[in-house]
Structure 1
Amino acid sequence: MNILPGDMQRAAKLLDCCDYCLARARVAQFGRDLNEAEKWVKEFLRCKRDLDELVRKKEEHDKLLEVVELMKARGIDIEIILRKGNEQ
């Protein structure tokens, strides 16, 4: 899973949540309690959405790093741009 290092612990918890929710949904399905199964599937989707957000955050971070590297390769000093941006 492609996650920022600072998000690893949260991602692990969300992944555990996904596993747990799917297991509970399956147990409820076996017990013919489809309403309970649906509740757990919805909870799984919530955890999955949060996990997807962490992945998206990492992808955005990687794109920004690519832009910075491209600017450096073209001789653009990113620190000057940042200082100018902070002056406004």
Structure 2
Amino acid sequence: MRKRNDNLVSASEIASWAWCPESWRLECGLGEKPANQAALRRGGRFHGLTAVFERLSRAVLTLGLWLLVLATLLLVVLFLLGVRP
């Protein structure tokens, strides 16, 4: 385990302090672990799955836009060649 640099503050620590300064003091200042470890693990898995869903959604949207561009170009070429669809 790496030694923690006391001059750095993580985003998790900021969120912990914003949510509950007392929780932050207990966890970061005194080294106490939260009692809801199972809920924290479930939350971590949920956020991981959400990130995967977001990446897949972005990929599908990009594919759809490229297909739309390709269809438009095909229609323009067919129009220029005088072929009626």
- TM-score band, normalised by the shorter chain? 0.3 to 0.5
More RCO (CA 8 Å, sep 6+): 1
Compare CA radii of gyration and give the structure with the larger one.
2
Question: Scaled by the length of structure 2, what TM-score is found?
Answer: 0.46
Higher helix share: 1
TM-score (norm: length of structure 1): 0.44
